[in-house]
Homo-oligomer: A and B are copies of this chain.
Amino acid sequence: MADSLNERSQNILEAIVEDYITSAEPVGSRAISRKHSFNLSPASVRNVMADLEEMGLLCSPHTSAGRIPTGKGFQYYIDTLLEVRDLNQNEKQNLRNSYRFQNMKMEDVMQEVGRVLSGLSQYTGLVMAPKFISTVFRQIEFIRLSQGRLLMIYVSETGLVQNKVIEANSSLTAQDLEYISNYLNSELNGLSIHDVRIKLKEELRKDRIHYDQLKQQALNLSCAALQDEVEDQLYVSGASLMLGQPEFSTPEKMKQLVQAFESKKVLIELLDRGQSAQGVQIFIGSESSDIDLQGCSLITSNFSNQKGAIGTLGVIGPVRMNYSQVVPIVDFTAQLVSRVLDREIEQN
């Protein structure tokens, strides 16, 4: 239905959205008529604006103010009016140079990506590391802490390190632990955690009374170590940049925003929603959705290595965000990070 807009209405809507993006203030008919050479008088523009308002694409904060785009208006703009140009070689190279991944461990790479995304966009950068369950097993080690407590260290294909403390009432010697980890490392190498879990279940079922006590132990331990879900890791960078945006200039809005960023839960849910999709995705935090992120938009893209471990990165900013600038940055960064992940994998 919204596609039934004629060209003039589209042009005017586009002009309003873009003016609003730069000014953050209601846009009046006079400004549109003057700045953009439509050769239309303010009065004509007003007529079109009234139509757009009726359609729910614009609204006016009060009678004598200009119009601002509604969530729906932004949605329409993004869906049908926004043209995202690709970066040229020069810009790509600049972006590549912004990131310094040399000899960085995975956590630092994630953090660096967030920082750079935030710095380039001047909004808040988000990076969610690949979920534990989607990572590919590379190596596991057990280290004895105090009596009955082991430290498990897990390394994924891409060099992501996880550790966990597990209870183990039996007293295993250092040799036992070495044997166990060797056994697991040879058995589980190259499987995703998801597949690891399936395999472990099978093995445990098959060998209820295992001939080899130590192998039995190994299965038990790895079950304890790899079964539970691991909290998602989310890196938030440049949260304070959002506080500079006029839409969040009141103390209440600020507090709300900082709370939302701090708990991370809402953000993770939002990022999860885009995990199945490909390419850049845009979420508009309209009035309907989460209260915590009212007035925010999210531009995300997934990154992944060839083995399928998927993470998400993106930028969160005000709805009134410079989409045409940020979208290509997010897009290309996701590609870059995917390549970095693959670099970690041993070529054979």
Query: By the criterion CB–CB under 8 Å, are B347 and A147 in contact?
Result: yes
| Interface presence of A172 (CB below 8 A) | no
Docked complex Cα distance between A212 and B153 (Å): 30
**CB <8 Å contact, B155 and A151:** yes
Please classify how large the interface on chain A is, using the bins under 10, 10 to 19, 20 to 34, 35 or more. 35 or more
Q: CB of A285 within 8 A of chain B? A: no
B250 touches A262 (CB 8 A): no
Complex interface residues of chain A between 204 and 228 (CB less than 8 A to chain B): none
Cβ of A141 within 8 Å of any chain B Cβ, yes or no, is yes
Contact mask A137-177 → B, CB, 8 Å, 1/0?
Answer: 01101011111010101010001010111110000000000
Q: In the assembly, what is the distance between CA of A144 and CA of B347, in Å?
A: 11
Q: Which of B138, B153, B161, B255 contacts A244 (CB 8 A)?
A: B255
Q: Mark A241-283, 1 if CB is under 8 A from B, else 0.
A: 0011000011100110011001000000000000000000000
CB distance from A288 to the nearest CB of B (A): 24
- Among A51-59, A76-84, A338-346, the one that faces the other chain is A338-346
Instruction: Knowing A151-B159, A258-B258, say if A165 contacts B105 (CB, 8 Å).
Output: yes
Which residues of A are at the interface with B, using a C-beta cutoff of 8 A? 103-105, 138-139, 141, 143-147, 149, 151, 153, 155, 159, 161, 163-167, 238-240, 243-244, 249-251, 254-255, 258-259, 262, 343-347
- Leading 5 A-B pairs by shortest Cβ distance: A240-B259, A243-B255, A161-B163, A240-B258, A103-B165
A-B contact pairs, 30 of them (CB 8 A): A103-B165, A103-B166, A103-B167, A105-B151, A105-B164, A139-B143, A141-B141, A143-B155, A145-B345, A146-B343, A146-B344, A146-B345, A146-B346, A146-B347, A147-B347, A151-B155, A151-B159, A153-B155, A153-B161, A159-B165, A161-B161, A161-B163, A240-B258, A240-B259, A240-B262, A243-B251, A243-B255, A251-B251, A254-B254, A258-B258
